[in-house]
Structure 1
Amino acid sequence: MQINSALQSIFDNFDNSGKLFIAGSRNVIKLFDYEGAVINVKAFKVPNWFNKIIYNYFRESKAKRSYTYATLLLERGIGTPKPIAYYEEKSIFGLEKSYYVSQHLEFDLMFRDLVENNNYPDRELILKQFMSFCYKLHQNGIEFLDHSPGNTLIKKENDSEYSFYLVDLNRMIFHKEMAFEQRMKNLSRLTPYQDMIQIMSKEYAKLSNEEESLVFDTLWKYTSEFQYKFYRKKRIKNKLRLFN
């Protein structure tokens, strides 16, 4: 895509400019002033030699997918920070650096805050409204593969209304429609807590006209399976570290 000189300057000087927002193990996000607003620039980790070739010839980069998926979400009325641009640097070896640019969203909490604090104000109300958001996502056939506690930003609009915004968008599948089992599995990474699952299940059942017990039992089954695999993988990693 066409990149103007102001954005090009941000990409060229990314390492030595901007305000650090998130320094992850794989990706870095910084904030910059751009055309009178604050933008969010995500720099993806330079891929290994194999993925450099894959992203250059066979698969779209994470940056391009993030931009494309954000555009598709907004077209379907699903909240996400407004996409501005993506940028890729390539060499004879394939994809090198890549960036995704969006408007910076001032949010009040993440879904993770509801998981970590069972006394969070309006917790039940937020969970119910979040289920409406998820139901709309599923009705649009959108399977958000990274649907985890840190990837939904929440903004309080007034005393009784909250808005939801998806981030970290590069892994999605767009279906014509989603089956019930797919929907429940898609919600299984959000929380390990049964009290939250009960509230979420009850609300999703109302919206979908499914039996509440069926929604709860299915969602709890997939949640339990995910938690078992997650902690099993974590234990294995910890054991491997002991031998290194």
Structure 2
Amino acid sequence: MKREIHSKYLNKSSHLDNFVINFSTQGESFGNQDRNSLKLFNLDGEILNVKSFKVPNVINKVAYRFLRKSKAERSYNYANKLIDLNIGTPQPVAFYEFKSAFFFGKSYYISHQIDCDITFRELTKDFNIPNHEAILRAFTRFTYKLHENNVNFLDHSPGNTLINFNNGNYEFYLVDLNRMNFKPLSFNERIKNFSKLAVHQSIIEVMSDEYAKCINEDYDKVFQLMWKYTNNFQEKYHRKRRLKKKIKFWKK
């Protein structure tokens, strides 16, 4: 077993070990369990989110054993990096990995659980949320802050930003962190980073308008490119879904 525990939680290491070792039989299931398993555990009154990553395929068992950092380790490292940059994400607590001599097995990422008011996904589905446009514009400025700090969040998608309301201010927290790049972003890379977030043109218009103000660029230039990348992503996404349905049909 390999583990790394944040300095704030070193005195709780035995409790954290217990959460991981007994993950299958203890804890409260939370959220979508399709790809990875999430459970909540109580640590002296603090709720922790323990994410159990799916065991990788045979090729990745070797790659993660010898060549690449695991999703759990990347999530932990990236969370610490974001906090250093004053970018919202749940407090990282620890990561655990289990390996054999030649293969990578299970891995876990533990973080503080945040009970949010909404996620960005709700903004794409419910246009009657109070101050909908103001939240959308604040989110766009948050994304601009990511870009200005050389953060390219590759999974910048509707379910991966938690939003809390705080007396007229909006707080944003990134989750599902294992896919990020840290480098200066070009104009095209910045705009492409919005492509997975929404399908409604009205949302793209608002985000384009706010982002154009942030970077002092022409609105039409920003909107046309953001709308293009959004449509390209949707076409690719639905093409993959159609292909998967055909494959499942033939398997039957």
Residue type of the partner of 2:158? P
Unpaired runs of 5+ residues, structure 1, are none
The 1:241/1:49 distance shift into structure 2, 3 A limit, reads closer
Instruction: Choose which of 19, 44, 47 in structure 1 pairs with 2:53.
Output: 44
Map of 1:123-202 to 2, 5 A cutoff? 123-158=132-167, 160-175=168-183, 177-202=184-209
CA shift for structure 1 position 94:
1.8
CA shift for structure 1 position 31:
0.3
Task: Show the counterpart of 2:113.
Answer: 104
Kept in 1, the 8 Å contact 2:72–2:96? The answer is yes
Equivalent position SS for 1:15:
coil
TM-score by length of 2: 0.93
The 1:49/1:179 distance shift into structure 2, 3 A limit, reads same
Q: Does 1:74 align with 2:83?
A: yes
How much identity, in percent, do the aligned residues show?
49
Residue type of the partner of 1:109? I
Unpaired runs of 5+ residues, structure 2, are 6-12
> What is the CA–CA distance in structure 2 between the aligned matches of 1:56 and 1:242, rounded to whole Å?
35
Residue type of the partner of 1:71? N
> What is the CA–CA distance in structure 2 between the aligned matches of 1:10 and 1:150, rounded to whole Å?
25
Residue type of the partner of 1:17? Q
TM-score by length of 1: 0.96
Deviations 1:137-167 (A, max 9, x none): 0001110010110101101111x21111000
Kept in 1, the 8 Å contact 2:141–2:214? The answer is yes
Kept in 1, the 8 Å contact 2:151–2:180? The answer is yes
Task: Show the counterpart of 1:19.
Answer: 28
CA shift for structure 1 position 106:
1.1
Task: Show the counterpart of 1:114.
Answer: 123
Deviations 1:87-137 (A, max 9, x none): 011112321110000000010001000111122221101000001100000
Instruction: Choose which of 233, 236, 249 in structure 2 pairs with 1:229.
Output: 236
CA shift for structure 1 position 2:
4.8
CA shift for structure 1 position 23:
4.0
Deviations 1:14-42 (A, max 9, x none): 00000100242220110001133010000
> What is the CA–CA distance in structure 2 between the aligned matches of 1:5 and 1:148, rounded to whole Å?
35
Kept in 1, the 8 Å contact 2:4–2:95? The answer is no
Task: Show the counterpart of 1:54.
Answer: 63
Kept in 2, the 8 Å contact 1:201–1:216? The answer is yes
> What is the CA–CA distance in structure 1 between the aligned matches of 2:207 and 2:34, rounded to whole Å?
31
Kept in 2, the 8 Å contact 1:49–1:93? The answer is no
The 1:153/1:2 distance shift into structure 2, 3 A limit, reads closer
Superposed structure 1 runs of 4+ greater than 6 Å apart = none
Q: Does 1:92 align with 2:101?
A: yes
Task: Show the counterpart of 2:9.
Answer: none
Deviations 1:186-224 (A, max 9, x none): 111000110000001100011110111111011001001
Kept in 1, the 8 Å contact 2:141–2:211? The answer is yes
> What is the CA–CA distance in structure 2 between the aligned matches of 1:123 and 1:86, rounded to whole Å?
36
> What is the CA–CA distance in structure 2 between the aligned matches of 1:13 and 1:79, rounded to whole Å?
30
CA shift for structure 1 position 239:
2.4
